[in-house]
Structure 1
Amino acid sequence: MASNLHVAITARGERNGLIQAEAMALTGGSPDADGVSTCERIDRIDRAAYVHRGVRIIVSADTIEELRDAIAVRANTIQSDRFRIDVHDPEGRSPLGRIEIAIMLADALQEFPDLGNPLHHFLVIVGERNLMFGEIEAESAASYRLHDNKPWTTSSSLDGRFSRALVNLVPDARSILDPCCGAGSIVVEAASLGIEAFGVDWKPALAGMTHENLAHFGYSGTVVQADSRSHVQYADAIVTDLPYGHAINADEGVIRAILEQCAGLAPRAVFVAPTNITTWLTDTGYANIQVHSVMKRRGFTRWVHVAESTVT
C-alpha cells in the first residue's frame, strides 16, 4: 500500500540514551530497536550526530515479493532516473541478501541505476512486521567529525559526536552558554551550527584553549575566564559538562552554586554529570527534568539531564 510517512534511520545503541533523546529533539520520533522511527520532520537531520537519514516512504508491504509488485504498479509515478537502492536490515530478517533485494526491486523500476552518482537514493527498510521502500531526502553531514582534530584537548574533553548531540537537545536555541567549557568541545559544536556561542571557564588556560579551537576552525564565539558561580551571561540554553573528579560529592557545593546561577540565565539547560543529579537540579530551580544515561567503557556512565528553569 502507499504511504505518506517519513521515517528516520538512527544509530543503534541500547546503552546510549542520548541517541533516542537526539532523535526525539530533532525529528519528533523515538527509534525502535532497529533504529527506525516515524517522525514529524526531517529538515534538521543534516545537523544530527546519531540520526543518519530521513526517508519519505513510497510503498510498504508484508513481503519482499509484494513490495516488488507494489513498486512495479507505481513505477511510472516514481522518479527514478539514475537511482541507487540500499537496504536497512540490521537484524538480518530477510532470507535474501542486500544485493539480491536491491536487484529484485531495481528490476521493478523503469529507469537505469547509477550506483556511483545517483540522482535518486532509495532505501528498503526490513522491519519486524513489514517492509518499506522510500527515497532518502535528508542525511546527516557528520560535520562534527572535523572537530575531533581540534588543536587543544584535555583528558576529559568530550568528542565531537557526543557534544553535537548535546547541542541538538535544544534545537531551537539561537544562543548557547557553556559555563564550564573546558577546551571548548560544546562551544565549537554550537558555533559550527551558526548558534551564538558563549564559553566560560575559571581556568585561564582552558578559556584560552577554547578561544584557539574556535579560531582554528574559523568560528566566532565569546570566551571569558570567570567564575560561573557568579558570572552573568544570558542565553537561550545552557549546555555543559559539569566539572567533576573521582568523587562528585567532593565538589557538591561548587556544582550546586553553578546550577543555581545557571537557572537564572537560560530557560532550558542540558547538564552532563557522572551521576544522576536530579535532586540537585530540583533544589536549584529546575523542573520537568529528563534523564538519559550513556554507558561508556569500563563501567563509566554519563548522565545527561535536560531541564527547564523555574527561575527565568
Structure 2
Amino acid sequence: MEMRSLFGVESETNIIKTPIAINPSRSPFIKERIEVLFEGDTLSEIVDQADQIELGETTFKVLYVKINDLDPSVKIGYWERRNIERDIGWKVQGLADVQNPDKIFGIVTLGGRWYLGNYIKSESVWLHHLKKPREYSTALSTRVARAIVNIAVPNPEGIKVIDPCCGIGTVLVEALSMGINIVGRDINPLVTDGSRENIAYFGLQGDVTTGPIADVTEKYDVAIIDMPYNLYTHATPEDQLSILKHARSFAEKVIVVTIETMDDMIKEAGYEITDRCVAKKGNFLRQIVVCV
C-alpha cells in the first residue's frame, strides 16, 4: 500500500521504474535508488555511453544492483557482475576507489533494458527509533509507523498533518524525522508527556498538546488516527465514532489504524474508504485504512 501511495502504481516485482523521485531512506521497504543517466538495449551500449562521465579528481565506483526482474534461471553470477562493474568503470573518466568513493554509479537491468545512474542507498532511519525512553507493547512498530506516514503523506510539500490520538508519539517521531509538518495531541496527559520525551530523545522538535479531539479547531490536510485500545487510553465504539466525526470536521483525509473492522463507522462519519491493508506484529493484526 505504501508503494501505491508513493508511486501511484504497484509493481509485480521488487523493482519499479518511475519518474517520481523518493528519498529511499523515507521508506523501510525501499533498499536503493538509481537516478538514471544512460539506458540501452544491451550492456555494451551502456559501456559505450559511460565514457561521457567526466569526474575529474572525484573518486567513484560502479555497483551492479542485484535487485532486478531477471528470471532465476538467467541470474548473473558474482564474477560476471564484477566484470560488468570493471568494464563500465574503465570508461568513466575519474579516479576509481572501491573502498571509500565520493560517488557510486549503479547498473541494473529491467524489462530487457540496461540502466546506469547515480546510486543512492537507503538508510534504515526507523531502526534508530526502536528504543525509546517511553514505550508500551501495543504501540505501532517504528517500521509500520514510518510506512503509515508515507501512505498518509506521499508528497509532504505544503501538507499539514495531525495525529490527534498520538499516544507515546511513534508516528510523530517517524514523521518529524522526515521533515513532515505534523502536530500531536492526546486526551491522556501521561502519554503526551511520554510523546514529548520520545521526540526530544531523538533530537527532534514537535508540538504535542493535551486535550480531547473535540477541541481541535485548526484545519489539516491529513489526520493519522491509531484508534485507542491499550491500557493507557481505551475508546468505546461510541468514542471511536465520535473521534471519526470530529476528524471529519478538520481533516480532508484520514488514515485509520484499527484492530477491528470499522467500515460502517467510517462511512457514518462521512468518509469513503479508498485503500486498505493489514499489518502484523506477531499475532497482533492492525487494519490500515485510507479514507477521504
Structure 2 distance, partners of 1:211, 1:255, is: 24
Native 8 Å contact 2:255 2:289 kept in 1? yes
Residue 304 of structure 1 corresponds to 288
RMSD: 2.9
- What is the Cα deviation at residue 229 of structure 1? 4.7
TM-score (normalised: structure 1): 0.77
Task: Name the stretch that deviates more: 229-238 or 216-225.
Answer: 229-238
String of CA shifts for 1:250-279, please: whole Å, max 9, x gaps.
832211111111111111111111234333
Structure 1 distance, partners of 2:281, 2:61, is: 39
Q: How does 1:88-237 map to 2 (within 5 A)?
A: 88-89=66-67, 92-108=72-88, 109-111=90-92, 113-127=96-110, 129-169=111-151, 170-173=153-156, 174-229=159-214, 231-237=216-222
Structure 1 distance, partners of 2:15, 2:201, is: 36
Q: Among the aligned pairs, what percent are the same residue?
A: 24
Question: Are 1:40 and 2:24 counterparts?
Answer: no
Residue 13 of structure 1 corresponds to none
- What is the Cα deviation at residue 134 of structure 1? 2.0
TM-score (normalised: structure 2): 0.82
Provide structure 1 residue ranges, at least 5 long, that are not aligned to the other structure: 1-20
Q: How does 1:272-287 map to 2 (within 5 A)?
A: 272-287=257-272
SS of aligned partner of 2:62: strand
Residue 87 of structure 1 corresponds to 65
- What is the Cα deviation at residue 155 of structure 1? 0.9
SS of aligned partner of 2:272: strand
Distance change >3 Å, CA 139–CA 82, structure 1 → 2: closer
- What is the Cα deviation at residue 233 of structure 1? 4.6
SS of aligned partner of 1:200: strand
Structure 1 distance, partners of 2:105, 2:29, is: 20
- What is the Cα deviation at residue 197 of structure 1? 2.6
Native 8 Å contact 1:94 1:126 kept in 2? no
Task: Name the stretch that deviates more: 100-109 or 200-209.
Answer: 100-109
Aligned residues: 278
SS of aligned partner of 1:38: coil
- What is the Cα deviation at residue 92 of structure 1? 4.0
